[in-house]
């Protein structure tokens, strides 16, 4: 049996825009915050994993070391689309489980600025058409053969769910965003902290039907970090460190198995379902045991289908789940009490670590105004298109 | 002279879409293949995909790169022989009340551009059947 892993320290920067800092500054702030929070030092770390997407070839982990301590430990720079942060966490977890490390630091960081719409290329016509690429295309096909843009791809994922299940439409998707904007007003770390009515959500500029502007996550900057420790070293820590530590009772990363439609429309469902199933089995808990869930609401359409993929609602029942308010902070299973990607923000590499920060903070009882009372088990989910899905289940320490 | 937008659109004796079908498991793929994503098989047959199908999902795209005309309707069609195809819905107003999930559609083609040699690029889309 592999040894248990604990989150000993964790920290995130507020998400937002940092024109006067670079990604190294943000990653360093998160790393130092997590070390301080855990009562440890960079010299205690046996491994460092650093996730960033848009600066994946920058040696970000080593750049952070040069700010906080070049101790010569192995660094793994990882990149896995929107699952980048979860992949950094898993890299450290695997090293500890393999017996190669007792303590490790996982960082996720991204500085996006105002990148605008992700994916979907500009069309630049060649003077002379010549087939190129795997499809022998004579010009970029985005906008001619459907959409490559993220709001559109996830809109289609949501509308496919609407095709297969009753009681799901524009209004149900909009209610998801209404909830997350409302939740964000209690989170000082959120990029946006403004509440909107359902009418305002539905009436904001349409990006890709049914996703309006207020149903799409923003680009932004930020970082988050976790110090992880294996149970052997955990036993020698102080009582205070042990009582604030949060147990990682499941850590899973999956990719999308083959499905017929996958070459045309990324399947974000099967790999999420598979990751959740494996995580619930690892942790020995079920969705009904969860005090809170932070899931990957890059778009409102995505959150709705993940209610089903993560087993939070009855199969096919995601529309009814949001209609009766189940994922609100005072509902059956609070989802994205941080404000979610839609309002807390989505600096891509940071997201999969920040979700774990959020859940851990609630399990410690340290989430302030947004605290979910009595939280003892929580789930953090991310999905990177392409695809990779990370699911972590965390449990309260139980040591006083 | 005409040239297809992508090489899986066949214009001669067509138009129709052509897929690479795995000889081992029957999985269909568009574009160049190295091996099968479902079973790992390495031999493929070129097969003609049905021209008709149903609309499985859609999005009306209003926001795109500056040179791409919007709004347009992006769709995934499930053809009558069970192959998923992504394209645009054409000859329909980009209005959610005019588009029905599950509606019957049919392959259609149109000229999407002309190069300096006068060669026309031909794209495909799906129109209400």
What residues in B contact A141, CB-CB < 8 Å?
5-6
Which token pair is B92?
Answer: 């329909």
Helix (H) or strand (E) holding B107: strand B104-114
State whether residue A115 sits within 8 Å of chain B by CB. no
Percentage of residues in chain A with pLDDT exceeding 70?
98
Answer whether B65 sits within 8 Å of A123, measured CB to CB: yes
- Computed over every residue of chain A, the mean pLDDT equals 95
Q: Looking at the structure, do residues A226 and A270 belong to the same domain, yes or no?
A: no
What was the pLDDT predicted at A96? 97
Local confidence band at B6 (pLDDT 50, 70, 90 cut-offs): very high
Count up the domains in chain B and report the number: 1
Mean pLDDT of the A383-396 span: 96
**Range of the structural domain that residue A164 is part of:** 150-217+250-394
Active-site annotation of A, residues: 82, 346
User: Minimal Cα–Cα distance from A142 to chain B, Å?
Assistant: 8
**Nearest neighbour of A159 by CB, restricted to B37, B58, B67:** B58
What was the pLDDT predicted at A123? 59
Going from the C-alpha of A301 to that of each of A74, A170, A228, the distances in angstroms are 39, 9, 33
What is the rounded CA–CA span in Å between residue A243 and residue A246? 8
Local confidence band at A118 (pLDDT 50, 70, 90 cut-offs): confident
State whether residue B59 sits within 8 Å of chain A by CB. yes
Q: A206 to chain B: nearest residue by CA? A: B62
Q: What is the ipTM of this complex?
A: 0.92
Q: Which of left, alpha, beta for A180 (phi over 0: left; psi -120 to 50: alpha)?
A: alpha
State whether residue A340 sits within 8 Å of chain B by CB. no
Q: Looking at the structure, do residues A229 and A185 belong to the same domain, yes or no?
A: no
Q: Looking at the structure, do residues A207 and A226 belong to the same domain, yes or no?
A: no
**Nearest neighbour of A163 by CB, restricted to B56, B83, B113:** B56
Count up the domains in chain A and report the number: 2
SS3 category, A313? coil
**Range of the structural domain that residue B63 is part of:** 2-128
A107-116, A122-131, A335-344, range with the lowest pLDDT:
A122-131
The conformation of residue A179, written as its DSSP 8-state character, comes to H
Local confidence band at B48 (pLDDT 50, 70, 90 cut-offs): very high
Q: A121 to chain B: nearest residue by CA? A: B65
What is the rounded CA–CA span in Å between residue A229 and residue A5? 6
State whether residue A119 sits within 8 Å of chain B by CB. no
State whether residue B66 sits within 8 Å of chain A by CB. yes
State whether residue B54 sits within 8 Å of chain A by CB. no
What residues in B contact A217, CB-CB < 8 Å?
none
Among A104, A200, A182, smallest CA distance to A344 is for: A182
What was the pLDDT predicted at A122? 61
Domain contains A130: no
Please give, one letter per residue, the 3-state secondary structure of A351-382: HHHHHHHHHHHHHCCCCHHHCCCCCCEEEEEE
State whether residue B102 sits within 8 Å of chain A by CB. yes
User: Minimal Cα–Cα distance from A135 to chain B, Å?
Assistant: 4
Mean pLDDT of the B78-82 span: 97
Domain contains A16: yes
Domain contains A143: no
What is the rounded CA–CA span in Å between residue B47 and residue B61? 31
Q: B79 to chain A: nearest residue by CA? A: A261
User: Minimal Cα–Cα distance from A241 to chain B, Å?
Assistant: 47
Which token pair is A103?
Answer: 């303590």
Domain contains A326: yes
Mutate to test the interface with B, among A119, A120, A128, A152 (most CBs of B within 10 A): A152
In sequence order, the 6+-apart residues with CB closer than 8 A to the CB of B112 are: A139, A144, B5, B121, B122, B123
- What are residue B113's DSSP bridge partners? B121
Task: Determine contact, residues B22/B38, Cβ cutoff 8 Å.
Answer: yes
Among A388, A390, A356, smallest CA distance to A80 is for: A388
Mean pLDDT of the A262-287 span: 96
- For chain A, how many helices (H) and strands (E)? 13, 11
Q: Looking at the structure, do residues A179 and A82 belong to the same domain, yes or no?
A: no
State whether residue A320 sits within 8 Å of chain B by CB. no
What residues in A contact B67, CB-CB < 8 Å?
122-124
Among A158, A381, A391, smallest CA distance to A266 is for: A158
What was the pLDDT predicted at A126? 54
Domain CATH for A326: 3.40.47.10
Q: Looking at the structure, do residues A201 and A259 belong to the same domain, yes or no?
A: yes
Q: What Rg do the C-alpha atoms of chain A give, in angstroms?
A: 20
Mean pLDDT of the A385-395 span: 96
Whether the bond between A387 and the residue before it is cis, its omega within 30 degrees of 0, is: yes
- Computed over every residue of chain B, the mean pLDDT equals 96
Task: Determine contact, residues A371/A330, Cβ cutoff 8 Å.
Answer: no
Answer whether A260 sits within 8 Å of B82, measured CB to CB: yes
**The Cα angle at residue A357 between residues A374 and A333, in degrees rounded to 5:** 40
Mean pLDDT of the A188-215 span: 98
Which token pair is A12?
Answer: 């995130």
Q: Looking at the structure, do residues A19 and A59 belong to the same domain, yes or no?
A: yes
Task: Determine contact, residues A255/A246, Cβ cutoff 8 Å.
Answer: no
Helix (H) or strand (E) holding B122: strand B120-128
Which token pair is B2?
Answer: 């005409």
Query: Across the beta sheet with A103-111, what order do the strands follow?
Result: A75-78, A47-51, A103-111, A221-230, A5-12, A246-255, A388-395, A377-384, A292-294
Task: Determine contact, residues A393/A86, Cβ cutoff 8 Å.
Answer: no
A9-13, A134-138, A186-190, range with the lowest pLDDT:
A134-138
Q: Looking at the structure, do residues A352 and A275 belong to the same domain, yes or no?
A: yes
Q: Looking at the structure, do residues A20 and A157 belong to the same domain, yes or no?
A: no
State whether residue B2 sits within 8 Å of chain A by CB. no
Answer whether A160 sits within 8 Å of B74, measured CB to CB: no
Q: B65 to chain A: nearest residue by CA? A: A122
Domain contains A137: no
SS3 category, A243? helix
Mean pLDDT of the A189-218 span: 98
**Nearest neighbour of B113 by CB, restricted to A139, A210, A262:** A139
Domain contains A145: no
pLDDT for A125 beyond 60: no
Q: Looking at the structure, do residues A203 and A242 belong to the same domain, yes or no?
A: no
What long-range pairs does B41-49 form, CB within 8 A, spacing at least 24? B44/B20, B45/B20, B45/B21, B46/B18, B46/B19, B46/B20, B46/B21, B47/B18, B47/B19, B47/B20, B47/B21, B48/B10, B48/B16, B48/B17, B48/B18, B49/B16, B49/B17, B49/B18, B49/B19, B49/B79, B49/B81, B49/B83, B49/B85
List, for residues A49-103, the tens digit of each pLDDT value: 999 999 999 999 999 999 999 999 999 999 999 999 999 999 999 999 999 999 9
Q: Looking at the structure, do residues A53 and A155 belong to the same domain, yes or no?
A: no
What is the rounded CA–CA span in Å between residue A298 and residue A215? 9
What was the pLDDT predicted at A124? 57
Q: Looking at the structure, do residues A111 and A78 belong to the same domain, yes or no?
A: yes
Q: Would you tell me which residues 6-25 of chain B have a C-beta closer than 8 angstroms to some C-beta of chain A?
A: 6-8
What is the rounded CA–CA span in Å between residue A15 and residue A21? 13
What residues in B contact A128, CB-CB < 8 Å?
115-117, 119
CB pairs < 8 Å spanning A and B: 171
Q: Looking at the structure, do residues A58 and A188 belong to the same domain, yes or no?
A: no
What residues in A contact B116, CB-CB < 8 Å?
127-128
User: Minimal Cα–Cα distance from B52 to chain A, Å?
Assistant: 16
Higher per-residue confidence, A3 vs B116 = B116
What was the pLDDT predicted at A121? 63
**Nearest neighbour of B56 by CB, restricted to A120, A149, A160:** A160
């Amino acid at each position: 049996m592999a040894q248990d892993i604990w989150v000993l320290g964790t920290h995130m920067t507020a998400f937002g825009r940092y024109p006067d800092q670079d990604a190294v500054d943000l990653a360093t702030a998160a790393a130092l915050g997590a070390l301080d929070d855990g009562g440890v030092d960079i010299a205690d770390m046996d491994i460092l994993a650093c996730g960033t997407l848009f600066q994946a070839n920058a040696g970000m982990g080593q750049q952070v070391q040069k700010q906080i301590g070049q101790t010569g430990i192995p660094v793994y720079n990882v990149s896995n689309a929107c699952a980048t942060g979860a992949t950094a966490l898993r890299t450290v977890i695997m090293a500890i489980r393999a017996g190669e490390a007792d303590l490790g630091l996982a960082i996720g960081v991204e500085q996006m600025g105002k990148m605008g719409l992700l994916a979907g290329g500009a069309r630049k016509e060649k003077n002379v058409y010549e087939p190129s690429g795997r499809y022998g295309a004579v010009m970029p096909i985005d906008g001619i053969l459907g959409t490559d843009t993220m709001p559109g791809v996830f809109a289609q994922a949501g509308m496919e769910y609407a095709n297969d299940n009753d009681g799901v439409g524009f209004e149900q998707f909009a209610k998801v965003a209404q909830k997350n904007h409302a939740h964000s007003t209690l989170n000082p770390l959120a990029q946006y902290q403004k509440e909107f009515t359902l009418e305002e959500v539905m009436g904001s500029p349409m990006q890709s039907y049914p996703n309006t502007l207020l149903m799409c996550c923003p680009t932004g900057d930020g970082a988050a970090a976790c110090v992880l420790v294996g149970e052997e070293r955990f036993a020698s820590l102080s009582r205070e460190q042990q009582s604030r530590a949060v147990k990682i009772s499941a850590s899973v990363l999956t990719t999308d198995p083959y499905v017929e439609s996958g070459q045309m429309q990324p399947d974000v469902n099967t790999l999420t379902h598979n990751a959740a199933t494996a995580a619930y089995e690892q942790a020995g808990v079920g969705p009904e045991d969860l005090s809170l869930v932070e899931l990957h609401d890059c778009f409102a359409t995505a959150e709705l289908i993940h209610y089903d993929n993560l087993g939070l609602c009855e199969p096919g029942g995601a529309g009814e789940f949001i209609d009766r308010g189940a994922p609100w902070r005072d509902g059956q299973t609070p989802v994205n009490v941080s404000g979610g990607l839609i309002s807390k923000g989505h600096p891509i590499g940071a997201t999969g670590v920040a979700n774990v920060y959020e859940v851990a903070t609630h399990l410690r009882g340290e989430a302030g105004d947004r605290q979910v009372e009595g939280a003892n088990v929580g789930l953090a989910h991310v999905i990177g298109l392409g695809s990779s899905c990370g699911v972590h289940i965390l449990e309260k320490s139980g040591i006083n | 002279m005409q040239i297809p937008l992508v090489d899986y659109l066949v214009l001669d004796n067509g138009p129709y879409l052509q897929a690479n079908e795995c000889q081992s498991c029957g999985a269909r793929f568009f574009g160049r293949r190295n091996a099968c994503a479902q079973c790992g098989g390495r031999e493929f047959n070129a097969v003609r995909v049905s021209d008709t199908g149903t609309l499985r999902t859609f999005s009306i795209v209003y926001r795109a790169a500056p040179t791409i005309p919007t709004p347009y309707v992006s769709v995934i069609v499930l053809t009558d022989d069970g192959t998923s195809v992504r394209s645009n819905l054409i000859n329909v107003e980009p209005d959610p009340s005019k588009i029905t999930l599950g509606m019957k559609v049919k392959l259609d083609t149109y000229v999407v551009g002309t190069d300096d040699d006068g060669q026309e690029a031909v794209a495909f889309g799906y129109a209400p059947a």
